[in-house]
Structure 1
């Protein structure tokens, strides 16, 4: 059977194990959620785990956060089996996941966190390719804005950008951005709504920010 994308079923342990096999080796341990936390996501009405399936084998996934009470979504994780990269599978996975998400949850801004390719790094080429990947699908960068990831550890967060995918949105207000940041920090990362990093991010932002 050719490649297709589907939502992980709530009580399907076989699909969950196939997803977890890719997840567990695709991210640094410091950025991973625990097995039990991922199980909670599988059963949560605020999350959908989308699977890319090729020849009945799970070859990729993305995790979408879609709280009913908010006006945005978040692409929380995305990965493709390392043996299946470079053949357009990631684009198909993300496009079909977004289409399903918009059809079932409504059209909202989809937020995407990426390491900034504008800062010097040993992973410069990887970061540039990752940004180009999302931009080819239509995601835009909030400008001017430097995103601070809500790390709970004492280590310094890497320079980040926040991309936005929406069919029609070309600007975002500072007040809307503040709401997004507060919701991300509290509901996704378990930080305080009054976390000083939020004020730091917003300190020099204009009332209206462009998506470029």
Structure 2
């Protein structure tokens, strides 16, 4: 497969339609953003949508949030065409996206939200495989830290963990983590900076959190 990865151009409607065709079927409706929101992300200076091409066909995408004047990124979405899963396309897409992201915006911590594989659930094995997928690329888990996804709906969010990918980072301070959480809650999920869930997450966190 002749796979190559490139950033979605801000004015390219054909590329956006190809991306959206995969996006709209890759995630549960409750986890999807509206088409208008995604169009706004396409044109925003703090988002990049990376597209995986097999020859001329879009077969996957990766959405990265990269706030200005911050020391972290957030992997917001990653998906490949359903008919092409399980052949290594996802890891190639993510590796190339990270390389381009680091080259354009500098090396920072890349945060990755995952559903906790430690929680008893019907998709426990899928969660384990997903965590291993990111660990195989070098991501580490924030030790003894439970992440709360900032859902706006009334349904309870699944138990979550936060992974961190960085070539040389092995620990973070509690103030750093708090700053990251506040930025994500405000800019990505449109919540308040003083959302009580942030205090809840940090309540029992030690001054220094190891990445394991």
Q: Give the TM-score taking structure 1 as reference length.
A: 0.99
Match in the other structure for 1:160: 160
- TM-superposed CA distance for 1:23, in Å, is 0.0
Question: Which residue in the other structure is 1:186 paired with?
Answer: 186
> Is residue 23 from structure 1 mapped to residue 23 from structure 2 by the alignment?
yes
Question: Shift in Å at residue 55 of structure 1?
Answer: 2.1
Once the two structures are TM-superposed, the CA of residue 44 in structure 1 deviates from its matched residue by 0.6
CA shift for structure 1 position 4:
0.3
C-alpha distance in structure 1 between counterparts of 2:49 and 2:70, whole Å: 19
State whether structure 2 residue 182 is matched by structure 1 residue 176: no
Shift of 1:83: 0.7
In 2, Cα distance between the equivalents of 1:153 and 1:53? 34
Match of 2:124 in 1: 124
Give 1:56's aligned residue: 56
Question: Structure 1 residue 155: deviation in Å?
Answer: 1.1
In structure 2, the residue matched to 1:2 is: 2
* CA deviation map 1:106-136 (0-9, x unaligned): 0000000000000001011110100000000
1:104-115 to structure 2, matched below 5 A, reads: 104-115=104-115
Q: Does 1:210 align with 2:200?
A: no
In structure 1, the partner of 2:76 is 76
CA–CA separation in structure 1 for the residues paired with 2:55 and 2:190: 38
- The alignment covers a number of residue pairs equal to 212
Task: Name the CA distance, whole Å, in 2 between partners of 1:153 and 1:49.
Answer: 25
CA distance in 2, matches of 1:116, 1:45: 31
Question: Following TM superposition, where does structure 1 have runs of at least 4 consecutive aligned residues deviating by more than 3 angstroms?
Answer: none
Which runs of 5 or more structure 2 residues have no equivalent in the other structure?
none
Greater mean alpha carbon deviation, residues 111-120 or residues 64-73: 64-73
Tell me the SS of whatever aligns to 1:143. Answer: coil
The root-mean-square deviation of aligned C-alpha atoms, in Å, is 0.8
